[in-house]
């Protein structure tokens, strides 16, 4: 298996966590999202992934993009370490929490949105940071309320789930952008618990070969 990604990409980070949780052996292929205008725009990569985003997974003759789809594919193919509860209600709640992060928080703060704000609206760095903090706060407030009800050691009880896989990269970004996390004690507690697990440590951005 090959995983095309970028060390700081939240979406690629999610897939790395899942792959390490499942003990999968894979080759990491770096796609630098900034250098030379972004390697994701080069023909060799767009032929694999027309969205010009990371990650992309190649598993023999299967080529997949979108981190949630990739993780769920891996979960179906390698079910011995499950990332969803068996109960259908619990599974739906875990997926909803994961999507609160992956679909509501992450997209408005990802690299191409940040670049568009700067390049097309001439937004200064200070205002770009205000934008990022606003949307992270909105999302984290909603997640924090859910964790008050559902969390144990991890986002949903005491087993690692897709919700943790999505939350931890977003918390990493929050610290990177100096967001005040004091309002989110449950999020911080869960993320700290996750980051003590070997799979999360192996998936950390700074532990990737292309980290700069």
For strand 62-65 and strand 27-30, is the pairing parallel, antiparallel, or unpaired?
A: unpaired
Q: Once rounded to an integer, what is the mean pLDDT over residues 27-51?
A: 95
Q: Once rounded to an integer, what is the mean pLDDT over residues 46-51?
A: 96
**Residue pair 187/181 in contact by the 8 Å Cβ criterion:** yes
Residue 171, SS3 per DSSP: helix
pLDDT band at 212 (very low <50, low <70, confident <90, very high): confident
- Return d(Cα 47, Cα 56) in angstroms, integer: 11
* Predicted confidence (pLDDT) per residue in 52-74, tens digit: 999 999 999 999 999 999 999 99
* Predicted confidence (pLDDT) per residue in 163-185, tens digit: 999 999 999 999 999 999 999 99
At 94 the pLDDT is: 98
At 89 the pLDDT is: 98
**DSSP string of 42-58, one letter each residue:** SHHHHTT-TT--S-EEE
Residue ranges and CATH numbers for the domains of the chain are: 2-81 (3.40.30.10), 88-199 (1.20.1050.10)
**Residue pair 17/165 in contact by the 8 Å Cβ criterion:** yes
- How long a stretch of residues is the chain? 212
Cis peptide before 186 (omega within 30 of 0): no
């Amino acid at each position: 298996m090959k995983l095309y990604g970028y060390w700081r990409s939240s979406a690629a980070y999610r897939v790395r966590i899942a792959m390490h949780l499942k003990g999968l052996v894979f080759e990491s292929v770096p796609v630098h999202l900034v250098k030379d205008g972004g390697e994701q725009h080069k023909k060799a990569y767009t032929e694999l992934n027309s969205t010009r985003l990371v990650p992309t997974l190649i598993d023999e003759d299967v080529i997949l993009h979108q981190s949630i789809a990739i993780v769920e594919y891996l979960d179906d193919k390698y079910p011995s370490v499950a990332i969803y509860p068996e109960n259908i209600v619990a599974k739906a709640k875990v997926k909803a929490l994961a999507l609160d992060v992956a679909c509501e928080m992450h997209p408005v703060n990802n690299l191409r949105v940040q670049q568009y704000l700067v390049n097309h609206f001439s937004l200064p760095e200070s205002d770009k940071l205000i934008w990022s903090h606003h949307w992270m706060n909105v999302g984290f407030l909603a997640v924090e309320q859910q964790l008050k009800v559902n969390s144990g050691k991890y986002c949903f009880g005491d087993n690692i789930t897709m919700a943790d896989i999505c939350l931890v990269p977003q918390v990493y970004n929050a610290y990177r952008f100096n967001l005040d996390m004091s309002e989110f004690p449950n999020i911080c507690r869960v993320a700290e618990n996750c980051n003590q697990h070997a799979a999360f440590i192996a998936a950390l951005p700074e532990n990737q070969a292309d980290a700069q």
